[in-house]
Chain A
Amino acid sequence: MIDAFDQIFVLLKHWALGWPFWPESLKPMLSVFLSIVPIMLVFALLFGITTVVERKAIGRIQNRYGPNRVGLPFTDVRLFGFGQFIADGIKALTKEDIVPRAADRVVHFLAPIALIVPVFLAYSVLPYGKNMAPIDMDTGVLFFFAVGAATELSVFMAGWSSRNKYSLLGAMRAIAQMISYEVPLIISTITVVMMVGSLSTVKIVEAQAEYSGQLPHWHVFTPWGLAGFILFLIAAMAESNRSPFDLPEGESEIVAGYFIEYSGFKFALFFLAEYLGMFAISGLAITLFLGGWTAPLAFLSWLPSWLWFFAKLLALISLFIWVRGTVPRLRMDQLMNFAWKFMLPMALINIAAAGLWFFLPAGFDRWAVCSAMLIVPYVLLGRGLMGGKLFTKRTYRYAE
């Protein structure tokens, strides 16, 4: 019974495929279709809900209410404002689509499509539950990063085709940031690939699916895994252009970055792609470090695996929102210094630490050595990043 509940979506798909009236030649297509459509629907819905939750949470952080009005149409039911995303969606769909006269129309039109397609492709390798990876690729992680790299070009297309200096500046910033943070992102992933010995996302989750006592063997519970997870998360924030790394959008300086000249549905696509990118990279972080669909404690394993995946995903999204409500935007030079002078060395040291962890015998010594190997450079690099400057409380001199 529990097993059936765990595999409910897999069973449903098989049941739907087993209907006699499908022609045999269409079955592979139908199987693909049945995998893709639920993913697109679920994550688009999650996007809508996340926008409301984010606005409400940030409002609460700033002691405001946030959206709490829109509920069911034609009634007084407000649902705490959770109808807001439907209203926003209708608004975006019905707004006029404005293309600047000087814009390169074809590229301007293609940019949002070239962005949303790779973002959705990235979802095809994430394992959402036991036996629930749409494609179990031998090179899943590599595939994820390959399609992630393809989004940079669409950002450039959007920025360049708008013929607007703000959008071009935003695109330049976005590309510089994405390329810089892709390096620590991939290098922090390499540790996991090294330990598991596979690029397949399914195998990576399976490697973490054991328990010693009640505690799971997630990678985040090792020194190199924790360091890798934190590095990955920071780089993921930068990759998905989330605050504090939202320089490409930088509302206060370059208005809205590369999508300034987009309106209506095209803008909604950019917005969607940004959030979907965030979910996808959170999903990869869960797969790599947080044990994918496995339960956090052994006795909780009876709950369905997909529930654990989505619980972890929501937790990570909340973390992203929390950080967004806390940290102000970085400056461009701070961003680059952080990437190249802190993230990259730490990620490289982390590889060495992971290698050492692999060869040392299990025990307390292994923990001590690997932790020291990571904490000492962390402190030193942190000090170096501050450049020997001592930050004290700022004093102001007023005219007397």
Chain B
Amino acid sequence: MLGEGIIKGLAETARNFVGSYVDKERLVTVQYPEERLPAKEAARNFPFLVFDGHDPHAGLRCVACQICEKECPPQCIYIEKSMDKKPDYVGKPQFYPKIFDIDISVCMSCQICVEVCPFEAIKMDTEFELSHTDRFAGLLFDKHQLAKSNEYYQKIHPNEAAEVDGHLAAEKAKAEVKAKADADAKARIAAAKTTTPPAAKPTPAPTS
């Protein structure tokens, strides 16, 4: 009969209306600024620079090799290499970026910079509340804004960071073993050549 469907529909909407007050399970809305969804491991939006330890300058993993700058499809990265060098995590003296800028208004979150980086220095961030009243300078992030600690990285991407840390630790261990072997070899050579004075060279693995 005509109108039957409308009555059924009205009953259904009434059930939903009352149900939304009685049964909290029905309301799936997350009220954003106060409530947040738990962060997802795979979430990503804009890149940041990882540093070890507590000093963003000293611990910065980036060596200013500029691969990411060249690979970046929208060319949102700008790097200026330093004149001097500073030791990296294994102790090898390396260049560091004097200027490292990312224009996040240009960045397309493709993660290519992360994939090409040989030093595990650039990673994807999950921070998304980046709105700013200045749409040019406010969205151009410099080195200090981009540098974030390894602990932060471990927090936002725990699995990925653990993998990277293991990888780096293995590399460092390998480097130390190699350095030790080199030192031993040098010591042996030095010992063999007793006539020559002991090497005045500094050990190649100073602790930073």
> Is any CB of A less than 8 Å from a CB of B in the complex?
yes
| B-binding residues in A (CB < 8 A) | 57, 60-65, 322-323, 325-327, 342, 378-379, 381-383, 385-386
Question: CB distance A326 to B2 under 8 Å?
Answer: no
Question: CB distance B27 to A325 under 8 Å?
Answer: no
Min CB gap B34→A, angstroms: 11
Q: Which of B9, B19, B20, B21 has the most CB of A within 10 A?
A: B20
Question: CB distance B3 to A326 under 8 Å?
Answer: no
Question: CB distance A60 to B16 under 8 Å?
Answer: yes
Q: How many residues of B contact A (CB 8 A)?
A: 19
B14: CB under 8 A from chain A?
Answer: yes
Interface string of B2-43 (1 = CB under 8 A from A): 110010011011101101110000111101000000000000
Report how far A326 CA is from B17 CA in the complex, Å.
Answer: 11
| Cβ 8 A contact of B1, one of A60, A61, A379 | A379
Min CB gap B17→A, angstroms: 5
Question: CB distance B13 to A65 under 8 Å?
Answer: no
Report how far A73 CA is from B29 CA in the complex, Å.
Answer: 24
Residues of B within 8 A of A65 (CB): 27, 29, 31
| Subset of 30 A-B contacts with CB under 8 Å | A60-B17, A60-B20, A61-B13, A61-B16, A61-B17, A63-B16, A63-B20, A63-B26, A63-B27, A63-B28, A64-B27, A65-B29, A65-B31, A322-B10, A322-B13, A322-B14, A322-B17, A325-B13, A325-B17, A326-B6, A326-B9, A326-B13, A327-B6, A327-B9, A379-B1, A379-B2, A381-B2, A382-B1, A382-B2, A382-B3
Min CB gap A321→B, angstroms: 10
Residues of A within 8 A of B10 (CB): 322-323, 326
Residues of A within 8 A of B13 (CB): 61, 322, 325-326
Residues of B within 8 A of A322 (CB): 10, 13-14, 17
Residues of B within 8 A of A325 (CB): 13, 17
Question: CB distance A385 to B2 under 8 Å?
Answer: yes
Report how far A310 CA is from B31 CA in the complex, Å.
Answer: 34
Closest A residue to B3 by beta carbon equals A382
Residues of A within 8 A of B3 (CB): 382
Question: CB distance B16 to A62 under 8 Å?
Answer: yes
Residues of B within 8 A of A378 (CB): 2
Report how far A63 CA is from B9 CA in the complex, Å.
Answer: 15
Report how far A327 CA is from B8 CA in the complex, Å.
Answer: 11
Residues of B within 8 A of A385 (CB): 2
Report how far A386 CA is from B3 CA in the complex, Å.
Answer: 11
Closest B residue to A379 by beta carbon equals B1
Report how far A104 CA is from B15 CA in the complex, Å.
Answer: 48
Closest A residue to B9 by beta carbon equals A326
Residues of B within 8 A of A383 (CB): 2
Residues of A within 8 A of B1 (CB): 379, 382
Closest B residue to A375 by beta carbon equals B1
Report how far A65 CA is from B30 CA in the complex, Å.
Answer: 10
Residues of A within 8 A of B19 (CB): 63
Report how far A387 CA is from B3 CA in the complex, Å.
Answer: 15
Report how far A383 CA is from B2 CA in the complex, Å.
Answer: 7
Report how far A385 CA is from B29 CA in the complex, Å.
Answer: 41
Report how far A364 CA is from B9 CA in the complex, Å.
Answer: 33
Min CB gap A76→B, angstroms: 11
Residues of A within 8 A of B31 (CB): 65
Residues of B within 8 A of A379 (CB): 1-2
Min CB gap B165→A, angstroms: 42
Q: Which of B2, B19, B20, B21 has the most CB of A within 10 A?
A: B2
Min CB gap A400→B, angstroms: 32
Question: CB distance B29 to A64 under 8 Å?
Answer: yes
Question: Which positions 54-85 of chain B face chain A at CB distance < 8 Å?
Answer: none
Min CB gap A27→B, angstroms: 50
Min CB gap B193→A, angstroms: 80
Residues of A within 8 A of B12 (CB): 326
Closest A residue to B8 by beta carbon equals A326
Report how far A327 CA is from B7 CA in the complex, Å.
Answer: 10
Report how far A93 CA is from B95 CA in the complex, Å.
Answer: 58
Report how far A288 CA is from B28 CA in the complex, Å.
Answer: 43
Question: CB distance B2 to A386 under 8 Å?
Answer: yes
Min CB gap A304→B, angstroms: 30
Residues of B within 8 A of A382 (CB): 1-3
Min CB gap A387→B, angstroms: 12
Min CB gap B87→A, angstroms: 52
